[in-house]
């Protein structure tokens, strides 16, 4: 799978959201990462389906919706109707994770599992063959602008090993503290979707920042994908 850049709208200027979206699209963004927070599962409150619907009306690229909420099953259909192309749910809040993934698939969108920094990779072992992507949180979820947790690199490798053992080539997505200083290492560990918020929207030039993030990764990835030597290093 080609590397994908997913700017996180959590860090965008909501007073000029349409312009921010157009800027990252001009910079070559592949997805728009939309963080949904309920003030319970994480200590922050963001947006609901009506805002996602408004984003969908402006965006030309797919919406990657990350549900950091309790009881996601209650709201998944509404977010799909609003325009989500991908939905990630947290294993930490779902005693019936298998059923939730089936629900997402039944609505014809991609289903992903998100793992908090303290959540072991084996928490998703029983559904490894079902997921369309795995979202590794490299900061504690809730607020943007946090520092990347270095141990996340080994966790990415562990997720890749688990997925490969299940015969699933689903991509690994990484969210939290991603910027030009660590992006190549994250890709080397096995990530194929990079979520970046402050390092894109906090620069004053989101289009250029999106391009620069991809250029840093492309210098490592090359035409044929990540080097096997560096992936294992």
* 98-106 contacts at long range (C-beta below 8 A, 24 or more positions apart): 98/126, 98/127, 98/130, 99/73, 100/72, 100/73, 100/76, 101/127, 101/130, 101/131, 102/130, 103/73, 103/76, 104/76, 104/80, 105/130
Provide the pairing of β-strand 84-90 with 63-68: parallel
**Per the residue annotation, which of 30, 132, 175, 179 is the catalytic one?**
175
**Per the residue annotation, which of 35, 38, 64, 179 is the catalytic one?**
35
Rg of the chain over all Cα atoms, to the nearest angstrom: 16
Q: What are the DSSP calls for 26-41, one per residue?
A: HTT---EEEEEEBSSS
> Is 155 exposed, middle or buried (CB count within 10 Å of its CB: 0-12, 13-18, 19+)?
buried
Q: What gap in Å lies between CA 184 and CA 198, rounded to an integer?
A: 18
Tell me whether residue 35 is one of the annotated catalytic residues: yes
Contact 99, 138 (CB under 8 A): no
Q: For residue 179, what are the CA distances in angstroms to 14, 89, 209, 210?
A: 21, 24, 9, 10
Tell me whether residue 205 is one of the annotated catalytic residues: no
Place of tokens 């030309």: 60
Q: What gap in Å lies between CA 45 and CA 40, rounded to an integer?
A: 8
Catalytic residues: 35, 175
């Amino acid at each position: 799978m080609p590397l994908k850049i997913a700017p996180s709208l959590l860090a965008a200027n909501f007073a000029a959201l349409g312009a921010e979206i157009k800027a990252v699209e001009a910079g070559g963004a592949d997805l728009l990462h939309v963080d949904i927070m309920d003030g319970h599962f994480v200590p922050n409150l963001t947006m609901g389906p009506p805002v996602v619907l408004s984003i969908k009306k402006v965006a030309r690229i797919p919406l990657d919706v990350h549900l950091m909420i309790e009881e996601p099953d209650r709201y998944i259909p509404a977010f799909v109707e609003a325009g989500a192309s991908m939905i990630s749910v947290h294993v930490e809040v779902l005693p019936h994770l298998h059923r939730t993934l089936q629900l997402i698939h039944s609505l014809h969108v991609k289903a992903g599992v998100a793992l908090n920094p303290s959540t072991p990779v084996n928490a998703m072992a029983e559904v490894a063959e079902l997921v369309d992507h795995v979202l590794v949180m490299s900061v504690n979820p809730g607020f943007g602008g946090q520092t990347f947790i270095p141990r996340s690199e080994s966790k990415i490798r562990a997720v890749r090993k688990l997925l490969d053992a299940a015969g699933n080539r689903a991509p690994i997505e990484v969210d939290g503290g991603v910027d030009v200083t660590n992006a190549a290492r994250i890709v080397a560990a096995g990530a194929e979707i990079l979520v970046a918020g402050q390092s894109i929207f906090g620069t004053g030039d989101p289009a250029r920042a999106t391009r620069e993030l991809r250029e840093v990764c492309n210098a490592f990835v090359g035409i044929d994908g990540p080097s096997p030597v560096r992936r294992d290093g």
